[in-house]
Amino acid sequence: MDKPINNAAWFLILPAFLIVLFNAVIPLMTVVNYSVQDTFGNNQFFWNGLGWYQELLDPSSELGGRFFASLGRSAMFSAIILAIEVPLGIMVAMCMPRRGIALALSLVFIAMPLLIPWNVVGTMWQLYARSDIGLFGWTLNAIGIPFNYTNDTLAAWTVLVVMDMWHWTGLIALLCFAGLKSIPDAYYQAARIDGASRWAVFARIELPKLSHVLLIGVLLRFMDSFMIYTEPFVVTGGGPGNATTFLSIDLVKIALGQFDLGKAGAMSIVYTLIVLAVCWVFYTVMVTGQNKGGRG
């Protein structure tokens, strides 16, 4: 006989759920309202329907070309960040001590960058990367590598990538370390009895056990890197030129710089849908993997 399900607990979280729903729906509906209208100032709006969406999704239009260029830069930045931080985070987690005071010091050291606010991180690296007084920029120039992120695209991207690595690789490392600690010792004992190499242990035991943790880590890092705004805005301002004008920065420029609320609203909705679509894919992959693991 099936045990009856008690849904009384839902009433305990209902007030919080309603508050979150209210705070989310009202701003969203405001953005949707802007996205189907146009304004010529003086707080006068005119119905535009799906016009902004059609222009936004047309690469041949000015708005569409600008949108796809910014989207490409954001996607490239996320791809670079994931390709570097995920393997590096795994390596750091595997090199961490497993017990004692050394473990405590390692956890504190790795977690410290995660506690620093985004605007402070951007300000720190803006100073570090300066070619005249910055430790990072001055050192590169001193050893004969020309470096000036204010007028060189490669240098600007290098600063942003290194900055993000320093700030967020620790998150992947901590997640992977927690996943490694959850692996039972029996797996390692069986591997030693079979004479498995270190690579075999990693490929056959550790990496499969880390798959779910890595999916969560990749999802978190994708969302943060794809929607990054504060750090590149503080460090480069989207420059040189438009080299580091990611989608988030371009959206703010359109909304606040040009006051084109209709265009900015449509871009915000499409931006949100892209993030939700990718999150849905990650969630589907994670649930499918868990179901297969459960059946196995």
Tell which residue, 295, 263, 199, has the closest CA to residue 70.
263
* Residues 6+ positions from 247 with CB-CB distance below 8 Å: 67, 70, 71, 73, 74, 226, 267, 271
Q: What is the pLDDT of residue 248?
A: 94
Domain boundaries, the chain: 21-295
Nearest-angstrom CA–CA distance, 167 and 118: 9
pLDDT at 291 over 70: no
3-state secondary structure of 38: strand
**Sole residue written with tokens 């029996």:** 186
Give the pLDDT confidence of 53-69 residue by residue, as tens digits: 999 999 999 999 999 99
How does DSSP classify residue 7?
A: -
Q: What is the pLDDT of residue 51?
A: 92
**Per this entry, what is the length of the chain?**
296
Higher pLDDT, 287 or 278: 278
pLDDT at 267 over 80: yes
Nearest-angstrom CA–CA distance, 125 and 134: 8
Q: Could you tell me if 164 and 228 are in contact, meaning their C-beta atoms sit under 8 angstroms apart?
A: yes
Q: What is the pLDDT of residue 232?
A: 94
Q: What is the pLDDT of residue 28?
A: 86
Classify domain 21-295 by CATH architecture: Orthogonal Bundle (1.10)
- Residue 88's DSSP bridge partners are none
pLDDT at 1 over 60: no
Q: 258, exposed or middle or buried, with CB in 10 Å at 0-12, 13-18, 19+?
A: exposed
Q: What is the dihedral of CA 124, 130, 132, 138, to 10 degrees?
A: 90
Nearest-angstrom CA–CA distance, 134 and 132: 6
Q: 195, exposed or middle or buried, with CB in 10 Å at 0-12, 13-18, 19+?
A: exposed
Local confidence band at 2 (pLDDT 50, 70, 90 cut-offs):
low
Give the pLDDT confidence of 220-231 residue by residue, as tens digits: 999 999 999 999
Residue 247 corresponds to which amino acid? L
The whole model's pTM is what? 0.88
Give the pLDDT confidence of 155-211 residue by residue, as tens digits: 999 999 999 999 999 999 999 999 999 899 899 899 998 888 989 999 999 998 898
3-state secondary structure of 184: coil
